[in-house]
Amino acid sequence: MWLIGAHVSIAGEISQSFDRAKALNCTAFQIFTRNPRGWASKKLDEKDILNFHKKFGETGLFPIAHMPYLPNLASPNREIYDKSVKILSEELTKCHILKIQYLVTHLGSHMGTSEEEGIRRVANACNIALKSSEGNTVLLLENTAGQKNSVGHTFNHLRKCLDLIEDRSRVGVCFDTCHGFAAGYDIRTHDAVENLLKDFDKIIGIERLKVIHVNDSKGALNSHLDRHEHIGRGQIGLNGFKALMSFKQVQKLPLIIETPYDSEKDYMHDIEILWSIAREQF
Ligand code: ZN
Ligand code: MN
Ligand code: MN
């Protein structure tokens, strides 16, 4: 069964994310477990948790969580760093309580120090958070577009960071196609995708790839621009996504769109495109 889905809102109550995902014809979905643009977080109460579990059981959808945007696990600023580690630990525990298997995080910005130091700080943050959180939620490091000072835009960065994380059973990778393309990984043809997966396997190990963020890219190959576009309307193009979804290693993974939310219709259309590609496979 294909796991195809979208990033959906948790507005109202967190369990409503299941309804939104179902309405979009998703079999998987992604949520923020707290306000993505603030530091504060509302505590989950018993009712929120029970309703989430109930809808989880009823729908059988596959939920994934994404860290909020403010934390920076690569920050050289002690105060920001400590706050970020604390949030990572809290979110890992929250995922455990909600029975969410994966938490996706960006590696952050080294703020002009160095990639080397940034990677070391991210790994240290992961080690502390994994140890101090409850349960066994798997933390997924997401590749970035390679914007100024960002950490994690090459497979080598991800590998270095994973090597420094002590509990290997609790880490993996989320590959974002828009970020990857902007960072210089071509995805436009069958051969390009084959090379990409080979590279990933050689450097990181394909078994570490757990989720794919399926986004087209407004920016060109190697532009380092993090601008998502609707599927087939960007620089990657429909053929790229057809190529990607023709590989066995990709077909069993949750494929989550984070395309621009211009209208419900555009969003649904992106999901429908992925389903139509999926139906062409055999
Ligand atoms: Zn992300
Ligand atoms: Mn992403
Ligand atoms: Mn992005």
Closest ligand relative to 140 C-alpha: 1
Cβ-based burial of 153 (10 A; exposed 0-12, middle 13-18, buried ≥19): buried
Residues 6+ apart with CB under 8 A from 60: none
Mean pLDDT within 29-56:
90
Using one digit for the tens of pLDDT, what is the confidence trace for 206-243?
A: 999 999 999 999 999 999 999 999 999 999 999 999 99
Per-residue pLDDT of 74-130, as tens digits, reads 999 999 999 999 999 999 999 999 999 999 999 999 999 999 999 999 999 999 999
Q: How far is the CA of 82 from the centre of ligand 3 (A)?
A: 24
Which CATH number does the domain housing residue 60 bear? 3.20.20.150
Question: Which residue in the block uniquely carries the two structure tokens 């835009």?
Answer: 153
257 confidence band (pLDDT: 50, 70, 90) = very high
CB 241 within 8 A of CB 278: no
102 is catalytic: no
CA–CA gap between residue 215 and residue 257 (Å, rounded): 6
Q: What is the pLDDT of residue 245?
A: 98
Catalytic residue among 7, 81, 91, 176: 176
46: CA distance to ligand 3 center in Å?
33
Number of domains the chain contains: 1
Cβ atoms within 10 Å of 12's Cβ, excluding its own: 10
Mean pLDDT of 187-207: 98
Task: Using the mean position of ligand 2's atoms as its centre, give its distance from the Cα of residue 21 in Å.
Answer: 17
261 labelled catalytic: no
Residue 64 pLDDT class (50, 70, 90 cuts): very high
Average pLDDT, the chain: 96
- How far, in Å, from the CA of 106 to the mean position of ligand 1? 6
Which pLDDT band holds residue 43 (cuts at 50, 70, 90)? confident
Distance 248 CA to ligand 2 centre (A): 21
* Least distant ligand from the CA of 257: 2
Q: Check whether 204 has a pLDDT greater than 80.
A: yes
Please tell me the chain's helix, strand, coil percentages from 3-state DSSP, rounded to the nearest 5. Answer: 45, 15, 40
Active site annotation includes 179: yes
Judge whether 226 counts as a catalytic residue: yes
Scored b (16 or more CB within 10 A) or e, 121-149 reads bbbbbbbebbeebeeebbbbbbbbbbeee
pLDDT at 259: 96
Q: What's the mean pLDDT in 42-63?
A: 95
- Domain holding 31, by residue range, is 3-280
